[in-house]
Structure 1
Amino acid sequence: MALRLCPSFSHPLIASSVSVRTTRQIRRCSIRSCIEPNDSRKLVLEVKEKLEKEYPSLPVGRNGRDDEDMIFWFLKDRRFSVEEAVSKLTKAIKWRQEFGVSELSEEAVKPVAETGKAYVHDLPDVDGRPVLMVVGSKHVPLEFDPSDDRKLCVFLIEKALSRLPTGKEQILGIVDLRGFRTENADLKFLTFLFDVFYYYYPKRVAQVLFVDAPIIFKPIWQMVKPLLKSYASLVKFCSAETVRKEYFTPETLPASFRD
């Protein structure tokens, strides 16, 4: 399928006069930004037909193999590679089915949610993004079955995404590490959280704030960071004061940061 490619300079005299800055801008021009609307529509249909032909047993409907919005999102994530999008989508749809994402409910996760260890803030941040809050000091590994913690995690991601306003595509994650102690450390769950975002909700989180991380958290981060690969760049260590001043207004600030 022919796509409109980004413009380039082929004449040597012209190329020699191009500034370094302009050259860098050209290099940053991606297929995503240069693809025509009609071409993207064709690619969505191509993925859709391929999934129907090769994976007919996959569910259909919302978040299924024929969900064109979902297909388009995964195409963007895979830089409009049909083969890569099909591969990642297939894995994601199978996971949703096996995990029982559509069956999760407030009642199903209520016992774990009542600990207050994680929740979706009622109001968006200054950029209009839904906010997923995690309170590290309230998480005690093995207090609940690990599967219950994972269900709460996925339920809250779905809840945050359901609150995306028109024009917004990503959420903000805040991990409050005030009062965090060694007994709160859970490498498996932290890895699960980032795996979920990478494989099943790609590019849905804009940034993850680690707030007031104590010294004991640093060696934990050094162990987890290599596992996160490129997603580690989404993490920003900051203070509670930064959260107050840069991410919320006095009216939208989470109660736990009003102290």
Structure 2
Amino acid sequence: MAFRLCHRPPLLSFASPNGGVRKQTHRQLRCSSVNQTAEPLDARKLVLEVKDKLEKEHSSLQVGKNGRDDEDMILWFLKDRKFVVEDAVTKLTKAIKWREDFGVSTLSEDSVKIIYATGKAYVHDFTDVKGRPVLVVVASKHFPEKQAAAENQKLCVFLIEKALHKFPYGLGEILVIVDLRGFRTENADIMFFKFLVRFCDAETVRSEYFQEDTMPAAFKG
């Protein structure tokens, strides 16, 4: 199944053998298509307006990359909120606060090494045919009853961040492939019922998303 993820927080778009999904994730890992709203001529002015409001009304929020003065992130949220300043400020405030509370900036390979070693998910070395970073999830290696939910969440956020860093400003879409081959009852997770899924077979994943020399090894015929 395949799904897309865009940043700031991301939109997931899944593809899986069997599959393909599209969904907006919860909270700060959530986003909608940034192309749905044309950028107005005064976009720069709106970015500065949001930046000023955040400084005056939410001065305790962190600054720097992914902070309240990150103009690339501000522009992304303005696009996401159809350039409505107050809506962008509200979502940005929640997003930045969530990142702080979750400790996104402290995540590293070392901090997720135990759960990462299960091989349940990884960022593919190559992009798909549209130039999107690829996150592969192996459902048969996911055991929600045995693996701590908090560790799974950390791994998920770490890998999404890692994939998004392949973009110049951490902005864009990610293709997420959820491999359902070998999936059993013990791999089921209620979290996945939040996603809208369009299933497809492995051949479709190979032909629609990759070239022969860039597809993940697990999907090669």
User: How high is the TM-score relative to the length of structure 1?
Assistant: 0.69
Partner of 1:81: 84
> Whose helix fraction is larger, Structure 1's or Structure 2's?
1
Map 1:215-226 → 2, pairs under 5 A: 224=193
Q: Which residue of 2 aligns with 1:105?
A: 108
- Residues 1:258 and 2:220 aligned together: yes
- Please point out which of 26, 29, 38 is paired with 1:33: 38
The unaligned stretches of length 5 or more in structure 1 are 1-29, 191-223
Deviation track 1:190-211 (CA, whole Å, cap 9, x = no partner) reads: 3xxxxxxxxxxxxxxxxxxxxx
Are the equivalent residues in 2 in contact too, given 1:121–1:254 (CA < 8 A)? yes
Query: Which residue pairs with 1:44 in the alignment?
Result: 47
Q: Give % identity.
A: 64
Amino acid corresponding to residue 72 of structure 2 in structure 1? D
The higher radius of gyration belongs to 1
Query: Would you say the 8 A contact 1:129–1:168 is kept in 2?
Result: no
The structural deviation recorded for 1:141 is: 0.7
Task: Check the 8 A contact 2:139/2:179 in 1, yes or no.
Answer: yes
1:187 to 181, 186, 190: 190
Structure 1 position 248 matched with structure 2 position 210: yes
Q: Residue 39 of structure 2 contacts residue 79 of structure 2 at CA under 8 Å; is this kept in 1?
A: no
* Number of residue pairs matched by the alignment: 187
Separation of aligned partners in 1, 2:207 and 2:99: 37
The 2-side partners of 1:31 and 1:148 are apart by 34
Bigger proportion of residues as strand: 2
For CA contacts below 8 A with separation 6 or more, give which structure has more relative contact order.
2
Deviation of 1:236 after TM superposition, in Å, equals 2.9
Residue in 2 aligned with 1:131? 134
